[in-house]
Amino acid sequence: MMLVLITETPEEGSRIAGRLVAQAIKQTPALRLGLAAGNTPIGLYQNLVDLHRTTRLDFAHVRLFSLDEFIGLPSDSPNSYHRFFHQHLLDHVNFDPAHLHLLNGQAEQDIVSYCVSYERLIRNQGGIDLQILGIGQNGHLGFNEPGSSLNSRTRRSLLSASTKYNLARAFDSESVPEWAVTMGLGAIREAQTLLLLALGAHKAEIVAKALEGPLSAFIPASSIQLHPSVVLVLDRHAAGSLNNQDYYLQQSSQVMENNHWFLEPSFMQVAQTGLPAKP
């Protein structure tokens, strides 16, 4: 099942996404949570930090995994995703370092063996319950660039020219790496539930292609169409090119006004408990 929630503003979208993740943690304190980096989820993480401070949302037993990382950047680089997660989430909540499993862009073993071992780690932990996702302007999920196999596994991935161009603004004096390590599209779809957040008019065209266009390896994000449990949180601008927008708005109204839906960590389904109340 795919649930599309459309909010008026990016801030509201981040709040809704944060509340859904927080609810999943409250329902399953040892939630296995997949993290995504980038500009889009920063507001989501800020909402989780706020909920931790104001409602004592407990991260002590949450097991954390990451979607991707640049190859060759030290973990303390201001542009590494290791640093990103600490800056925007981990340094502000009570997580257990023993439960933190971020991809390492400087793994000492060869990259193929490392990627196999990372997927083995996820399986041994019981798999990911809830995977947070963004979407690149060229349709990438993680660093699965256009042309990636829809069944791809965790691996080294060459960054496309468009991805490097978009990243360059954040890298300042440091060169954008050529390569990254990323969970593959097949590996991402093994999560129980996917939560994809897209905000802003610059994401409208690719959101429409991913959600309503044909399934294609050249739009990697279209692979979410194959997943049985997906929640998309979009602001009005990101939803602007959707053909089925009226229906999604009707869906959103039922969820956010009439309080009929909720997200379980293992399955998203219709229920009477509704979204968690605002703190």
CA distance linking residue 266 with residue 269, whole number of Å:
10
For the cut 70, the answer to whether the pLDDT of residue 3 exceeds it is yes
Assess if CATH 3.40.640.10 describes domain 2-270.
Answer: no
User: Whole-model pTM?
Assistant: 0.92
The identity of residue 80, as a single letter, is: S
Task: Determine the straight-line distance between the first and last CA of the chain, rounded to whole angstroms.
Answer: 28
241 within 8 A of 204, measured Cβ to Cβ: yes
Average pLDDT for residues 16-44, to the nearest whole number?
Answer: 96
Please list the active-site residues.
68, 138, 140, 145
pLDDT value, residue 232: 96
Q: What is the dihedral of CA 143, 228, 207, 134, to 10 degrees?
A: -40
Write out pLDDT tens, residues 251-268: 888 777 655 445 444 434
pLDDT value, residue 252: 84
Decide: helix, strand or coil at residue 227: coil
Q: Which residue has the higher pLDDT, 279 or 257?
A: 257
CA distance linking residue 109 with residue 235, whole number of Å:
42
Write out pLDDT tens, residues 70-122: 999 999 999 999 999 999 999 999 999 999 999 999 987 799 999 999 999 99
Write out pLDDT tens, residues 168-205: 988 876 789 999 999 999 999 999 999 999 999 999 99
Q: Measured between alpha carbons, how far is residue 201 from residues 66, 178, 234 in Å?
A: 26, 28, 10
CA distance linking residue 141 with residue 86, whole number of Å:
21
Q: Where are the alpha helices (DSSP H) in the chain?
A: 10-27, 42-55, 81-88, 111-124, 161-171, 185-188, 204-212, 245-256
CA distance linking residue 25 with residue 70, whole number of Å:
28
pLDDT value, residue 258: 57
Domain locations along the chain: 2-270
pLDDT value, residue 255: 76
Write out pLDDT tens, residues 153-168: 999 999 999 999 999 9
56 within 8 A of 151, measured Cβ to Cβ: no
For the cut 70, the answer to whether the pLDDT of residue 61 exceeds it is yes
